[in-house]
Amino acid sequence: MSTALVDLAQNTAEIIKKYNIVRVISHNDADGITAAGIMSHALFRSDIIFHTIIVDHLGQDIIDRLNAQVYGGEGAVLFCDMGSGQPDLLNQVKDKVLIIDHHQIVGDHSDHVQINPHMVGIDGSGLLSASGTAYYVACAMDDNTDLAGLALTGAVGDKQRMEGPNGDILQQAIKNGVVSVKKGLKVPDGQVDEVLLTLVEPYLDTTGDKVATKEFLDQLDISGSIKDIEDEDLVKLASAIALKIAKRSDPSIVQSIVGDILMLDREVVPNIHTFEWIINCCGKKDQPALALSLCLRDSSVLDESVRISAGYQQGLIEQIRSAEELVKEMISVRYIAVEDAVGTGIIAGTMIRYVCPDKPFITLNRVEDIIRISARGTHQLVDKGLDLAVAMRDASDAVGGQGGGHNIASGANIPHGTEKDFLSIADKIIGGQLA
């Protein structure tokens, strides 16, 4: 394990334990929710009073809500999976600010306590997520190694590699009997026809089409539960899926279909891909309390969580299929503009991974009084110079909004009516990066 990262975690843990009350604010995707789950466990086990809030973005409304109740020397506010790019907002918080994040660091955070892999030269976009960073802090607070499954779930949610610090967590988890590994298809559990019909990762040209899905499986003569498929049929199915994907997606995606599936031996849902998807769906469906409850190992909410995630998934598939007909192209980016859409990040990620991988993809989603933006790239584009964190931050700032994130995945919020200017600026910035 990185000594520098462990030292940062130890420092953060010691400061956290000085407070009697800690309010946890975290993002509503799988990584943010698992990070919040890890810190909720750790705070509870350390006899620290805590209140966990899951939010879809960090804005002025959240700061005002926090400042409505100030605890002074007794209380601290812990931001998870957010905060590193918004020092101006965090400087307004009246209680002590602590940050557990993995996004690119922007501005001066000298008044805040922060742990971020980028601080010690570790790639936060690919090698350590917010939940993984939270795990390092939790382990510095006490023996919380049983929470490794949550850290790895967050990493899977952010499509990270099981190398570097993530690999260290995985090896520790296997050694401690927290996680076990089996070979198979990296998809959620279930009946193969139902799984393929509603599959978003990977996204197939038959997804959402019951007749086409049946024909595909009939040709392969495969049926039954994913976990019960014999090895020979599993290879046949994986090969057929790979051929489908290879027709229009980045070739590297094909390699991620089959391999080691992590089984979470301490969590309420064993298959890490099923667990990650349920958590993410509940978070994006405005039911983060259910997702957090799952992370706290409350099996009583599992049936409701599965039901909600299934409904969310159905709506998401419909929107992705529609999005394929709405794509517009600029010099350096592709984009779609939608209204009240669900899972804009997933839509953008799906489009660039499985439909049109040669240019960065931007989804603009009009929601009430704001335009929420999700931008996604590929590792190949990042290798050529793409940095969506810079592009989203600078383009949104130019039109009176705010944004940031990772070089490969980023987001922004901008005012209504500024979409055209935002896209024009972002297109120019990204064009310059890829020149």
Across residues 345-363, what is the average pLDDT? 90
Which pLDDT does position 260 carry in this prediction?
85
- Say which residues have a Cβ less than 8 Å from residue 189's Cβ, sequence separation at least 6: 195, 225, 226, 227, 271, 274
- Between residues 243 and 419, which one has the greater pLDDT? 419
Across residues 322-351, what is the average pLDDT? 90
Q: What span, in angstroms and rounded, lies between the C-alpha atoms of 429 and 423?
A: 10
Across residues 115-134, what is the average pLDDT? 95
Residue 428 tokens, joined = 């120019």
CATH number of 3-163: 3.90.1640.30
**Confidence category of residue 231, pLDDT binned at 50, 70, 90:** confident
Q: Which residues of 376-400 are buried (b: 16+ CB within 10 A; e: fewer)?
A: bbbbebbeeebbbbbbbbbbbebbe
Matching residue, tokens 């972002």: 426
Q: Where are the alpha helices (DSSP H) in 126-163?
A: 130-141, 148-157
Across residues 354-373, what is the average pLDDT? 91
Amino acid (1-letter code) at residue 270 = P
- Say which residues have a Cβ less than 8 Å from residue 382's Cβ, sequence separation at least 6: 407, 408
Residue 265 tokens, joined = 């031996």
pLDDT at residue 201 greater than cutoff 90 = no
Across residues 21-27, what is the average pLDDT? 98
**Backbone phi and psi for residue 328, each to the nearest 5 degrees, phi listed first:** -120, 150
Residue 401 tokens, joined = 């909004």
What percent of the chain is modeled with pLDDT above 70? Answer: 98
pLDDT at residue 150 greater than cutoff 90 = yes
Whether 59 contacts 413, CB under 8 Å: yes
Which pLDDT does position 48 carry in this prediction?
98
Which pLDDT does position 251 carry in this prediction?
60
What percent of the chain is modeled with pLDDT above 90? Answer: 70
Which pLDDT does position 395 carry in this prediction?
97
> Which burial class, exposed, middle or buried, applies to 292 when counting CB atoms under 10 A from its CB (0-12, 13-18, 19+)?
buried
Domain ranges of the chain: 3-163, 183-303, 324-434
pLDDT single digits (tens) 236-258: 888 888 888 877 776 666 666 77
Q: What span, in angstroms and rounded, lies between the C-alpha atoms of 81 and 321?
A: 30
**Confidence category of residue 433, pLDDT binned at 50, 70, 90:** very high
Across residues 408-432, what is the average pLDDT? 95
Which pLDDT does position 1 carry in this prediction?
66
The top-level CATH class assigned to 324-434 is alpha beta
Which pLDDT does position 252 carry in this prediction?
65
pLDDT single digits (tens) 76-95: 999 999 999 889 999 999 99
pLDDT single digits (tens) 211-224: 999 999 999 999 99
**Which of 120, 133, 45, 126 shows the shortest CA–CA distance to 83?**
133
Whether 173 contacts 256, CB under 8 Å: no
Please, what is the average pLDDT of the chain?
92
Span between the terminal Cα atoms of the chain, in Å: 37
Which pLDDT does position 254 carry in this prediction?
64
Across residues 47-60, what is the average pLDDT? 94
pLDDT at residue 368 greater than cutoff 90 = no
Q: What span, in angstroms and rounded, lies between the C-alpha atoms of 296 and 54?
A: 14
Do the first three CATH levels of 3-163 and 324-434 match, i.e. the same topology? no
Q: What span, in angstroms and rounded, lies between the C-alpha atoms of 421 and 410?
A: 18
Q: What span, in angstroms and rounded, lies between the C-alpha atoms of 201 and 228?
A: 20
Quick one: how many helices (H) and strands (E) in the chain?
Answer: 18, 13
Across residues 302-308, what is the average pLDDT? 95
pLDDT single digits (tens) 404-415: 888 999 999 999
Which pLDDT does position 179 carry in this prediction?
97
Which pLDDT does position 83 carry in this prediction?
93
